[in-house]
Amino acid sequence: MPTFDRRTVLMSAGGLALFAGLDPFTRAWAAPKFSYDPFALGVASGDPWPDGFIIWTRLAPKPLELHAGMPALAVPVRWEVAEDERFARIVRAGEEIARPELAHSVHVEVGGLQPSRPYWYRFLVEGGEASPVGRVRTAPAGGTLPNRVRLGLAGCQSYPQGWYDAWRHLSEEPNLDAVFHYGDYIYENGRTSSYVIKDAAGQVADRTHASDEIYSLDDYRGRYAQYKADPDLKAAHHAAAFIMSFDDHEVDNNWASVFDQDGTAPELFLLRRFAAMQAWYEHMPVRKAQFPRPDGLTMYRRLDYGRLLRMHVLDTRSYRSDQLCDRPEEQACRREAGPDSTMLGTAQEAWLGEGLRNDACWNLIAQQVRTMPLVRRQPDGSPGPIATDSWDGYPAARARLVRTIVERNLTNVVIATGDAHIHNVGVVPARDDELDGPAAATEFLGTSISSGGDGVADSAARQAYLRYNPHFALMNQQRGYQTFDITPAEWRADIKALDQVQSPGGQLNTLARYVVSPDKPKLHIG
C-alpha cells in the first residue's frame, strides 16, 4: 500500500508553486499523509567547496520494501540552508523533484555561501514531518591559508559484521570539516553471515542482509536503504560533510574495470556495474559531475582547503588492469606484473600527475587500497602470497606514482587508504627493495567501521607483519577510524579503535598519535 494519498502527490507534482514563497514557520501543514517518516534514511552533505556543498536525501518511508514504500510518482521536496541550527536565518532555499528514476533521491548543489563557516540544512515534504537537520562546513576561500582543517577517515561498514558504534563516536568528534570515506559503504553478499551479533541485553540480534546477493538496480537500492537506516550511520552524516569514494563491495568483491573475480563475461558484468554505480550515485552526497552513465562514472576529483590542503580523491577500481593471478591454475586474471599495468588508467594517472604539485602545504591522496608494499612470509620464512588487490598487484603503477613524487621533490604527500580492515600506518618507500630506505610519502590506512567483527589488538599475524615490514609503524586489527588535524606546520593523526562491535556500546580508545611535518615523509610519535 502506498504510504500516502496518491491524489495529494499528483496535485503536489502538478503544482510546484505549492511551496513557493511560503514561510515554513507561518505555514500550516496539512495533516501528515505519510504514515511513516519519509526521511528514514536521514540526510547527508558532501564535497564542500568555498561557496557551498551538496545536500542529499532520499524519500524512503519503508526502507526495506520495494521502492522503499514510495509510489512511482515524482514528488516535490523543499530544501533549506540556514546559518543557524534553528533555521531563523535561512540563506538558501528551493525545491527539487524526487524522481522515481533516481529512487526518489534528491541532490542539491548549493552555492553562493560564505567560506569557512558552518551551515545547517533540512528537507521538507508535503504531508510529512521535516527531515532531521544536518550540519556542514564550507571550505576555506581559495588562496587563503587556514590555521587548521580536521578530517575523519573511515569506511568498510559491513552491516552483518558489527554495530556502527564507530560512526556514533565519529559523529561526536568536535570540529570536523569533513569525513573521507574510502568505500565499502555496502557489501554485496547475501543473507548468510558467520558473525554472531548480540544486542544490549546479550541476546543474539538479527543484523543480517535482508536479501540475497545483489545484482539488479532495485537490489542495490534495497541494500543501501538497509544500511542507511542505521541510526549511528545517520548521526555521522548529520554531523559533517562526507567526501565519498567507492571501493569494490559497492559492486562486487575485488572487481577491476570490466572484470569480476569469477570470469563473468565483461558485457554481463558491465550491466551489474552500471546498476551498482547508479545506486551509488542515488545514495551518495556527490555532485552532478559524478552522475552515472552506462559506461561508468567519474568519481576521481580534487577538493581544495585553501592553500593548506589539496585533496586528490582517486578511483582505484574503474580503470585498473585485471588482477594478477593468485594461483598458477587461475584463469580469470592477469599473468604478469608487466610494466604497462595500471591502477588508475591513463587519463586519471595523467590527471593526478598534473595536480600533484607544491602549491598547497599538503597533498592528500585519498584512495582505497594499500599503497605501501606488504611483505608476507610463510611460517617457514619463504615468501608468502602477494596482496594482489592492493598496489602490490600493480608494482609498475606504484613505481610511476613514487617517481612523480620524488622527481618533483614533493615531501608533503600523505596517502589515506582503507580496504584492509586493519589500522596500518607507515611510509611508502622510494624503492620497493629498500623498505627501510628513504620514503616518498606517509600512509594512513584506516581500519573498518564494522567489517571483520570485533577483531584483536594483537596476534601472531600482526607480529609477523611488523617484523617483515620495517616501513610499518603501526598495525592493529580492531575496528574504528582515524582523525587528521592538519595545520601548515604539521599533520597529526589520531588512530582510534573500539574494543567491540559485535555487541553494542563499544568503548573508543586512541591507540596512537602520529605527527608528520611537510618537509619530510617521516612519522613521529605525537
Tell me the three cell numbers of residue 414. Answer: 600523505
CB 70 within 8 A of CB 59: yes
Q: Which is nearer to Fe ion, 121 or 255 (CB)?
A: 255
Q: How far apart are the first and last CA of the chain?
A: 57
3-state secondary structure of 413: strand
Q: Which is nearer to Ca ion, 127 or 183 (CB)?
A: 183
**C-alpha pair distances (Å), 188 with each of 247, 276, 349:** 12, 10, 28
- Binding footprint of Fe ion, residue count (CB under 5 A): 3
Q: How far is the CB of 447 from Fe ion (least distance, A)?
A: 10
Which listed residue (156, 241, 360, 439) binds Fe ion by CB under 5 A? Answer: 156
Position 445 contacts Fe ion (CB under 5 A): no
Stretch that binds Fe ion, among 176-184, 197-205, 323-331, 395-403 (CB under 5 A): 176-184
The binder of 389, among Fe ion, Ca ion, none, by C-beta within 5 to 8 A per type, is: none
Position 248 contacts Ca ion (CB under 5 A): yes
Q: How far is the CB of 9 from Ca ion (least distance, A)?
A: 39
Q: How far is the CB of 481 from Ca ion (least distance, A)?
A: 16
How many CB atoms are closer than 10 A to CB 91? 14
Position 184 contacts Ca ion (CB under 5 A): yes
The binder of 260, among Ca ion, Fe ion, none, by C-beta within 5 to 8 A per type, is: none
Position 37 contacts Ca ion (CB under 5 A): no
Q: Which is nearer to Fe ion, 156 or 186 (CB)?
A: 156
Report the C-alpha gap between 98 and 123 in whole angstroms. 11
Beta bridge partners of 475: 424
Cβ contacts of residue 259 below 8 Å, gap of 6+? 266, 269, 322, 323, 332
Report the C-alpha gap between 210 and 222 in whole angstroms. 8
Stretch that binds Ca ion, among 145-153, 247-255, 272-280, 425-433 (CB under 5 A): 247-255
Position 177 contacts Ca ion (CB under 5 A): no
How many CB atoms are closer than 10 A to CB 256? 24
The binder of 248, among Fe ion, Ca ion, none, by C-beta within 5 to 8 A per type, is: Ca ion
Stretch that binds Ca ion, among 70-78, 114-122, 147-155, 177-185 (CB under 5 A): 177-185
Q: How far is the CB of 184 from Ca ion (least distance, A)?
A: 5
| Region for residue 172 given its phi and psi (left: phi exceeds 0; alpha: psi -120 to 50; beta: otherwise) | alpha
Tell me the three cell numbers of residue 320. Answer: 585498473
Report the C-alpha gap between 499 and 503 in whole angstroms. 10
* Phi, psi at 512, each rounded to 5°: -165, 160
Which listed residue (47, 80, 177, 184) binds Fe ion by CB under 5 A? Answer: 184
The binder of 360, among Ca ion, Fe ion, none, by C-beta within 5 to 8 A per type, is: none
Residue whose entry in the numeric block shows the C-alpha cell 544536518: 134
- CA nearest neighbour of 307 among 150, 141, 113, 493: 141
Q: Which is nearer to Fe ion, 341 or 451 (CB)?
A: 451
- DSSP tag of 506: P
Site string for Ca ion, 267-306 (x = CB under 5 A): ----------------------------------------
Among residue numbers 402 through 431, which ones bind Ca ion (CB under 5 A)? 419
Q: How far is the CB of 463 from Fe ion (least distance, A)?
A: 23
* Phi, psi at 413, each rounded to 5°: -95, 125
Stretch that binds Ca ion, among 199-207, 241-249, 340-348, 380-388 (CB under 5 A): 241-249
Report the C-alpha gap between 112 and 53 in whole angstroms. 10
The binder of 451, among Fe ion, Ca ion, none, by C-beta within 5 to 8 A per type, is: Fe ion
CB 370 within 8 A of CB 445: yes
- CA 119-123-124 angle, 5° bins: 140
Site string for Fe ion, 46-85 (x = CB under 5 A): ----------------------------------------
Stretch that binds Fe ion, among 25-33, 93-101, 225-233, 449-457 (CB under 5 A): 449-457
Position 153 contacts Fe ion (CB under 5 A): no
Report the C-alpha gap between 244 and 367 in whole angstroms. 10
- Binding footprint of Ca ion, residue count (CB under 5 A): 4
Which listed residue (245, 451, 477, 503) binds Fe ion by CB under 5 A? Answer: 451
By CB under 5 A, name the binding residues for Fe ion: 156, 184, 451
By CB under 5 A, name the binding residues for Ca ion: 184, 247-248, 419
